[in-house]
Amino acid sequence: MSESTLQSHAPMWPEAARDSGDRRGQRGKPDWTDAVFLLLLAAGAAYALANYGASMDYYEKMILSGAVVVLAWLGWLWRPLRVLMVASGLSALFAIWLYSGGAGLSQGDLSRADSVFFLKYLLSSQSAILWMCSLFVLAMVCYWVGIFSSTAAWLGSVLTWSAVYAGMTGMLVRWREGHLLGPDIGHIPVSNLYEVFVLFSLITALFYLYYERRYATRALGGFVLMVISSAVVFLLWYSFTRDAFQIQPLVPALKSWWMKLHVPANFIGYGTFSLSAMVGFAYLIKEHGQTRSFGKLIPVFVLGAVLCAEPMIFGSRELSPVWMLYFGLGAIIVGGILALRGPIAARLPSLEVLDDIMYRAIAVGFAFFTVATILGALWAADAWGTYWQWDPKETWALIVWLNYAAWLHMRLMKGLRGTMAAYWALGGLLVTSFAFLGVNMFLSGLHSYGEL
């Protein structure tokens, strides 16, 4: 389908859903299971307030209460999320119980992580996050094999869900491990590069899994899991070369309840922007699936190669063997996708569906990134006495915001769709990556809490 055809036939959500053959996205009225889930969340919040309320300020108590409502709503909006939250929560509670040696949830000994089997190999935060990393990479492989085998594609979905479960469990356990180190050390695990890379991977994967179910297609899994696997490679390199997995006390500026709101909202934006970029890549593959000449696809390869090289550039000021190998493999993968674009394109959803997912991912990301920017300004006023200081992180956050604001404006006002929209979304990943990671690498400022 040509770009002009897309511009004149902009699919609305119901049509796009019907084109994909999906009927599972329709939500029914809340039932008794939703009520039970709400009561379960409320009971957990009540326990936390009763036992740890003295350590919370007024705003933290309000955030906890609000989280009950938001999580209950999300569980109704997307039922599989309830299963994930319950399973991760029970696993985390089991790990906390193991740390206490059966003495209760209020006590614990971190040294047990090296002696208790389940903690050492499965449920300590480091073990669970390592499982997450391995499962994401395996899922990517299965998704690509799934282009030719539906069984492998199904396994890719299972492994992705398993990776999210392991990562979420690891983050919950890490939160508790911080408090076991000392009363002034424990904090929500979203404060440094190690933790936010895990958060980024989980958010990106969850949004992909939502769209996978909504549109009844697994053909996009290999594309989206590429960017998650790139984050995993950086996470592993950063962990083992810098001991980044160690839990450190917060710097004074981060000891604020604002962090619990600002950082998750920010990374919903980063995750959905990255997802939209990979859907844009898939769109270009679909559009040129039957093109024999590589000429039209050279810009795609150049963009892909640059994106593959980006972690090497950011990850080290020297050409280390790790990042040279990563760049080489990344370039080979991108080249292989272009070479096999015919069969890949045949399995991808229609251009209308791809365009719709790309738009919806950017729209959701832009909304949350806008909220995160406002929250960041309020936090800055609280911490430093001014809303905006043109700090490098603030400046690049504004650039990211303007980039996607322009994308949405051009789509809604000028009918931007098709090839140009896909290239713009894919190129936007460069801007987003620099704001996420490059600022920490090359620039310094008030937000330099995760320097490499």
For residue 295, pLDDT over 90 is answered with no
Token pair belonging to 222: 């290999």
Per-residue pLDDT tens digits for 124-166: 999 999 999 999 999 999 999 999 888 899 999 999 999 999 9
Q: Which band of pLDDT confidence, cut at 50, 70 and 90, is reported for residue 444?
A: low
For residue 195, pLDDT over 60 is answered with yes
Please choose, from the candidates 145, 401, 142, 178, the residue with its C-alpha nearest in 3D space to the C-alpha of residue 269.
401
Per-residue pLDDT tens digits for 87-130: 999 999 999 999 988 766 667 888 898 999 999 999 999 999 99
Which residue did the predictor score with more confidence, 286 or 437? Answer: 286
Which three-class secondary structure state does DSSP give residue 334?
Answer: helix
Per-residue pLDDT tens digits for 251-286: 877 788 898 999 999 999 999 999 999 999 999 999
Give the ranges where 78-124 is alpha helix by DSSP (H): 79-100, 117-118
d(CA 64, CA 170): 20
Q: What share of the chain has pLDDT > 70, as a percent?
A: 83
| CB burial of residue 23 (10 Å; 0-12, 13-18, 19+) | exposed
Q: Contact at 8 Å (CB) between 133 and 235?
A: yes
- Identify the helix (H) or strand (E) that includes residue 379: helix 351-384
d(CA 215, CA 218): 9
For residue 406, pLDDT over 50 is answered with yes
d(CA 274, CA 34): 31
Token pair belonging to 9: 């036939």
Q: What share of the chain has pLDDT > 90, as a percent?
A: 53
Q: Which band of pLDDT confidence, cut at 50, 70 and 90, is reported for residue 228?
A: very high
pTM (2 d.p.): 0.89
Give buried/exposed letters for 273-292 (b at 16+ CB in 10 A, else e).
bbbbbbbbbbbbbbbbbeee
Give me the residue spans of the domains in the chain.
Answer: 81-250, 268-452
Per-residue pLDDT tens digits for 387-404: 888 888 888 999 999 999
Q: Residue holding tokens 């492989």?
A: 141
Per-residue pLDDT tens digits for 335-382: 888 888 889 999 999 999 999 999 999 999 999 999 999 999 998 888
